[in-house]
Amino acid sequence: MRVLSIVVAAALAAALTGCGGDRGAERAQESPGGGKRLSIATGNTTGVYYILGGGLADLISKNLPGYEATAEATGASVENIQRVVKGDSDIGFSLADSAADAVQGKGAFTSPQPIRAIARLYNNYTQVVATADSGIKSIADLKGKRVSTGSPNSGTEVIALRLLKAAGLDPDKDVTRQALGLPESVDAMKSGGLDALIWSGGLPTPGITDLTTNLKEDAVFVPLADVLPKLQAEHGQVYAAGTIGKDVYQAPADVDTVVVPNLLVVNESMDPALAESITKLIFDHKADLVAVSKAASEISKETAPKTEPVQLHDGSKKYFGG
């Protein structure tokens, strides 16, 4: 199903209001159960965004009186920001590089977008997986290969294209590029239709676990340390060094990779009281989110307010004491 339905919350409470502004008012419509509906834009159904988004929707529905939340499968970061700006979604998961482009009016965005951050969450790990018989041992080796660069308008696609360019490859000429979501990419890898896929997600990502479990030693992770300096030179310190531990996917060794923070974003018009309540909910019930996805264990009050260049929403600032 494209939409993950969540349990209706308890009775309405006067202390919490709906989203502020005209767009917020349009989104905060009454649900059949009597509560105000909140939509959370997530990502591919086998990715962490979708799973964690479902957990957050459940928390909102159970613990914010008067609200019923649903998690929606989407193309992820860029699409999620577009949905939040248009008012089609109230909350969205996004990679920090895509969100930075949005507020600066760069990349996929032709003008600065009116978004704010609820919090910085966990890091996304860039996971490049190739078939063992492809001979791919670096991003440069993707030349002439069949490669999935992620769903259109996704954060994965943004990073994938930048990785290819950092390795000196033209994404439209040097590789046979397929813009596939993670489930489709994994299926194509299993059937021999792809030589490699590029994915940006939390650890572990269920879809990648499925792939490595099925292909075993025929699936190999490609290290990315050699392209990180070029990425940082072109796009800044939003890209950092990281490691995929060998125990995450039962690989033969740790893999050097590139990490990017994730942000939870909303329209700048969201009611500060609601934004503060959602922020508080994340930390009051962090253990519940960790139970849904281990990636949530990285969420901390120390790093959560560090969302630059995306401004924290005023409600979140209040929660963090700003």
Coil/strand/helix, residue 3 = strand
Strands 67-72 and 36-41: parallel
The confidence score (pLDDT) of residue 7 equals 33
Closest CA to 77 of 94, 62, 64: 94
**How many whole angstroms separate alpha carbon 140 and alpha carbon 227?**
9
What pLDDT tens digit does each residue of the chain (322 aa) get? 333 333 333 332 333 333 333 444 344 555 445 569 999 999 999 999 999 999 999 999 999 999 999 999 999 999 999 999 999 999 999 999 999 999 999 999 999 999 999 999 999 999 999 999 999 999 999 999 999 999 998 999 999 999 999 999 999 999 999 999 999 999 999 999 999 999 999 999 999 999 999 999 999 999 999 999 999 999 988 999 999 999 999 999 999 999 999 999 999 999 999 999 999 999 999 999 999 999 999 999 999 999 999 999 999 999 999 6
**How many whole angstroms separate alpha carbon 266 and alpha carbon 143?**
38
Task: Collect all residues with Cβ–Cβ distance below 8 Å to 216 and sequence separation of at least 6.
Answer: none
The confidence score (pLDDT) of residue 34 equals 55
The confidence score (pLDDT) of residue 95 equals 96
Structure tokens at 27: 């989104």
The pTM of the full predicted model, rounded to 2 decimals, is 0.85
**How many whole angstroms separate alpha carbon 78 and alpha carbon 307?**
17
The confidence score (pLDDT) of residue 248 equals 97
On whether the CB atoms of residues 44 and 151 are closer than 8 A, the answer is yes
Distance between first and last Cα of the chain: 40
Coil/strand/helix, residue 228 = helix
The confidence score (pLDDT) of residue 16 equals 33
Closest CA to 235 of 145, 127, 104: 104
**How many whole angstroms separate alpha carbon 255 and alpha carbon 219?**
13
Per-residue CA distances from 6 to 24, 39, 60, 137, 289 (Å): 20, 11, 9, 43, 15
DSSP state at residue 176: E
Closest CA to 4 of 63, 49, 35: 49
**How many whole angstroms separate alpha carbon 78 and alpha carbon 107?**
10
The confidence score (pLDDT) of residue 29 equals 53
| Cis, bond preceding 229 (omega within 30 deg of 0) | no
Type of residue found at 211: L
Q: How far is CA 1 from the centre of its chain?
A: 19
Type of residue found at 17: T
